[in-house]
Structure 1
Amino acid sequence: MVLKRKIYAKLLEWKENSQGKKAIMVEGARRIGKSTIVEEFAKKEYESYIIIDFAKKDKNVEEFFNLYLNRLDDLFMMLGTYFSVKLIPRKSAIIFDEVQSFPQARAAIKYLVADGRYDYIETGSLISIKENIQDIVIPSEERSINMYPLDFEEFAWALGEEQLIDYIKNCFEKRETLERGMHNKAMHLFKQYILVGGMPKPVSLFVESGKDFTGVDAEKRDILKLYRNDIMKIKAQYRSKVLAIYDQIPGLLSQHEKRVVFKNIQEGSYAEQYSETFFWLSDSMISNECFLCSDPNVGLSMYEDRSYVKCYMGDTGLLLSHAFDENELLESEIYRQILNDKLSLNEGMLYENVIAQMLVANGHKLYFYTHYSEEKHRNDIEIDFIISNNSKLKYKMFPIEVKSGKRYTTNSLTRFKEKYKARIGEAYIIHPRNLLIKEDILCIPPYMTICL
């Protein structure tokens, strides 16, 4: 099944605005549905299209680019003949799928766009990694957009719950609680999202099977294995460090602070030794990194401290499978027990990861904040996330605390608000309960993160 994705609207906007003067590059992790959505887009929005999968290493196609790039009439004739597609000027698209496998095609975008006859859509996994682009000049005629796993809203669409999403958004705008039954329904759907995740194949299996978890875990483990195989192909100089962090993500997120303590990974290690590691995991979009902001203010990146980092899994459904022994397939019944709160699990790990995932999908860069009290000999303020550049209140920041349980304190957030009162637009607690306002803090259920 082809799932409805928000990125389709962005592709439409690009097509209408660029009018062939820019190619578009869709970047994202492996198996998030890039090829599916761009082909669906080309099928619906053009009279004809060619999709070239460079991962297949078709020597004939590669030879066309090597021989005919200076004779574009011949290149288009050869491509059209080879793929049995009639290309129509300004009414056809050519898709370069997995273009990182043949960088010469990406470099050729400059000349192809200048020619102006067709639109060009590229997809790439790990496309920004240095070893994939070191021999080419990235064309200025290319615009990049990131694609992520399905967010909660897209997951709800897949399950036919568009009206529920509209109701959630309406309640958030009005700062009203959801009707109790609707809140329970939304929370149940959100728990399903945590367990299944947002990778298209597991979601499709879940929907097509009538919400059965059978097969979902096996599919997620296939994706995790694919990621691990990708790691084994990178440069040996930082391969072991990437593997160490990747394997330890569930363990790191199980801790109270959740940040990476480098000396615990390997005795005597420090943050600078792992800079390439986090670059790789984040740039491949396998993980979402969250840096300490030492002096939180508008323009959070100016105050980021990269020696303190939290590393979240790019997809929470994958994190759940990753957290269990890799040889221990989770049966459907186990999923149902987790869903119905009959099996003990580290919900804090999953909740914080899924909120990170949803914030990134909304376009936010992730930062956290801690303050160490010399008097108390411990952190007396810990803020899980800080976001900025909210469309309604620019030049303000928005602290977020994530609570997986219904009982909690607001001490950290209250102290943070007192310390940085003038800089804060609105403060949020994300908790499993319905919406409420407490001590000038907006407490929202986790499914409302789509509104932030």
Structure 2
Amino acid sequence: MVYLNFFKNPEYAQIFEGPLDIDTITMQIGATIPGTKFLPHKTVIILDEIQDAPNARTALKFFKEDGRYDVIGTGSLLGVQGYGKPPKSIPVGSETVITMYPLDFEEFLWANDIQPPVFKKLRECFEQVVSVPEALHNRMHQLLLQYTVVGGMPEVVQEFVNTHQMDTVFQLQESIVNSYRDDMVKYASASDKVRIRECFDSIPNQLAKENKKFQYSLIEKKGTAEKFAGSLQWIEDAGIITRCYNLHTTELPLEGNADKSVFKVYMNDIGLFVSMLEQGTQGDILRGNLLGYKGAIFENLAASILYKMKRKLFYFRKDSGLEIDFVIRHKGECTLMEVKAENGNAKSVKTILNHPEKYHVNRAIKFGNYNVGNTGSVLTLPLYMLMFMDER
């Protein structure tokens, strides 16, 4: 492996300022990093923080044409307006782009050494709609609460697995959130810097409301879409948040029935969202004392899990008070999905299911602090089984 980090060593970018033929590039890397060896069809070259060396990304085309070496380019916020330096030529057709996400709940379980037979048993209970054995059910619920607090940022998960010291976990999360704020200031245009940070910092307040529709007036008293829409888009492009759009009607195709002007906003990493709430919230979650933020926390948990499945998010709300947390395509049908921190009613679900001729829905899934069960058209599942909602 040959590793170049353009952020840590900005002088490495000069290697790609001249001719981009592969022999010249490998010769210059060898001269810059003594002891480097290139073995055809055995050496992999890693170009880290490639957004700081735009010509290195252009060179991917020539690496592919040459074919002797595999190359992995990694970059933070590639494609976000104002971040890094755009390449003179994007190597279309010569690179495979993979978007990396924070760890999902299943990966968090892997990190905590949960073994394959456990996943097999849980999947069987999910598919056969039978109760999970009580001891396993309780353990999985405990791990889900830990994931809710820790989240999926790799460094944070590794610290948790190594030490189980929540103080250092919280410090790492705070550092990441602060680095987001620093990046907003560093890379955004001058006119957007303050607005982007204000949008970002408003997210906990947006989700604390009973009606979680994103409101620009919560950013500032006279805030408007015209003033803040671009800033919110910057945060979304950066992979920090995702939007959940309101539906005109509960009917497939969901994308075609969405109102793009009415939406909720969720953080893509549940642990970072919780870290932005008032101090002590993490301890409350681990003890089961969920209090006022419980709806926002577990809705955001569900949103982050669905987002990592590459699902677009939708919900349904009417001024009459009818509201469904999420509406998804599941097993080819439009399906209502409610998320409860604890046991709770789903009055809106019953109303919609009782009028299939009006709402075109026959199925619903309710996630909460209970075991697997089935009540008529409503499937009830424990919150940790959100990880199995990958079937469209």
TM superposition score normalised by structure 2: 0.90
Q: 1:108 aligns with which of 59, 62, 79?
A: 59
State the partner residue of 2:328.
Answer: 387
Q: 2:88 aligns with which of 109, 122, 136?
A: 136
- Report 1:30-429 matches (<5 A): 49-59=1-11, 61-69=12-20, 71-83=21-33, 84-132=35-83, 136-140=88-92, 141-162=94-115, 163-209=117-163, 211-233=164-186, 234-324=188-278, 335-342=282-289, 344=291, 346-372=293-319, 378-379=320-321, 381-388=322-329, 390=330, 393-394=331-332, 396-408=333-345, 410-417=346-353, 418-419=355-356, 424=361, 426-429=363-366
Equivalent residues of 2:202, 2:218 under 8 A apart: no
After superposition, what is the alpha-carbon deviation per residue over 1:318-340, rounded to whole angstroms, capped at 9, x for unaligned?
A: 1111112xxx5x5xxx7555412
- The answer for unaligned runs of 5 or more in structure 2 is none
Measured after TM superposition, the shift of residue 253 of structure 1 is 1.0
Measured after TM superposition, the shift of residue 263 of structure 1 is 2.7
Structure 2 counterpart of 1:405, which letter?
E
Aligned residues: 383
User: Cα–Cα, structure 1 residues 423 and 252, in superposed 2: closer, same or farther, change >3 Å?
Assistant: same
Measured after TM superposition, the shift of residue 184 of structure 1 is 1.1
User: Cα–Cα, structure 1 residues 362 and 262, in superposed 2: closer, same or farther, change >3 Å?
Assistant: same
Equivalent residues of 2:362, 2:377 under 8 A apart: no
User: Cα–Cα, structure 1 residues 293 and 118, in superposed 2: closer, same or farther, change >3 Å?
Assistant: farther
Measured after TM superposition, the shift of residue 57 of structure 1 is 4.1
After superposition, what is the alpha-carbon deviation per residue over 1:2-57, rounded to whole angstroms, capped at 9, x for unaligned?
A: xxxxxxxxxxxxxxxxxxxxxxxxxxxxxxxxxxxxxxxxxxxxxxx212111124
Equivalent residues of 2:248, 2:258 under 8 A apart: yes
SS in 2 for 1:404: coil
Q: 2:379 aligns with which of 431, 442, 448?
A: 442
User: Cα–Cα, structure 1 residues 293 and 193, in superposed 2: closer, same or farther, change >3 Å?
Assistant: same
State the partner residue of 1:431.
Answer: 368
- Equivalent-residue separation in structure 1 for 2:214 and 2:290 (angstroms): 28
Structure 2 counterpart of 1:275, which letter?
A
SS in 2 for 1:323: coil
User: Cα–Cα, structure 1 residues 79 and 296, in superposed 2: closer, same or farther, change >3 Å?
Assistant: farther
- Equivalent-residue separation in structure 2 for 1:122 and 1:425 (angstroms): 46
SS in 1 for 2:336: strand
Structure 2 counterpart of 1:353, which letter?
N
Equivalent residues of 1:50, 1:93 under 8 A apart: yes
After superposition, what is the alpha-carbon deviation per residue over 1:186-213, rounded to whole angstroms, capped at 9, x for unaligned?
A: 111111111111112222222112x332
User: Cα–Cα, structure 1 residues 172 and 214, in superposed 2: closer, same or farther, change >3 Å?
Assistant: same
User: Cα–Cα, structure 1 residues 58 and 135, in superposed 2: closer, same or farther, change >3 Å?
Assistant: closer
State the partner residue of 2:388.
Answer: 451
- Equivalent-residue separation in structure 1 for 2:42 and 2:248 (angstroms): 51
Equivalent residues of 1:89, 1:118 under 8 A apart: yes
Structure 2 counterpart of 1:207, which letter?
V
Equivalent residues of 1:272, 1:307 under 8 A apart: no
User: Cα–Cα, structure 1 residues 437 and 343, in superposed 2: closer, same or farther, change >3 Å?
Assistant: closer
After superposition, what is the alpha-carbon deviation per residue over 1:157-188, rounded to whole angstroms, capped at 9, x for unaligned?
A: 11112243332222111111111221111111
User: Cα–Cα, structure 1 residues 337 and 270, in superposed 2: closer, same or farther, change >3 Å?
Assistant: closer
After superposition, what is the alpha-carbon deviation per residue over 1:343-397, rounded to whole angstroms, capped at 9, x for unaligned?
A: 745221111111111111112111112123xxxxx32x21211223x5xx34x33
After superposition, what is the alpha-carbon deviation per residue over 1:219-270, rounded to whole angstroms, capped at 9, x for unaligned?
A: 1111111111011121122222221121111111111121212233334433
User: Cα–Cα, structure 1 residues 105 and 257, in superposed 2: closer, same or farther, change >3 Å?
Assistant: same
SS in 2 for 1:90: coil
SS in 1 for 2:288: coil
After superposition, what is the alpha-carbon deviation per residue over 1:92-125, rounded to whole angstroms, capped at 9, x for unaligned?
A: 2211211112222112222221222212212121
RMSD (Å), alpha carbons: 2.3
Aligned-residue identity in percent: 30
User: Cα–Cα, structure 1 residues 423 and 124, in superposed 2: closer, same or farther, change >3 Å?
Assistant: farther
SS in 2 for 1:55: coil
SS in 1 for 2:60: helix
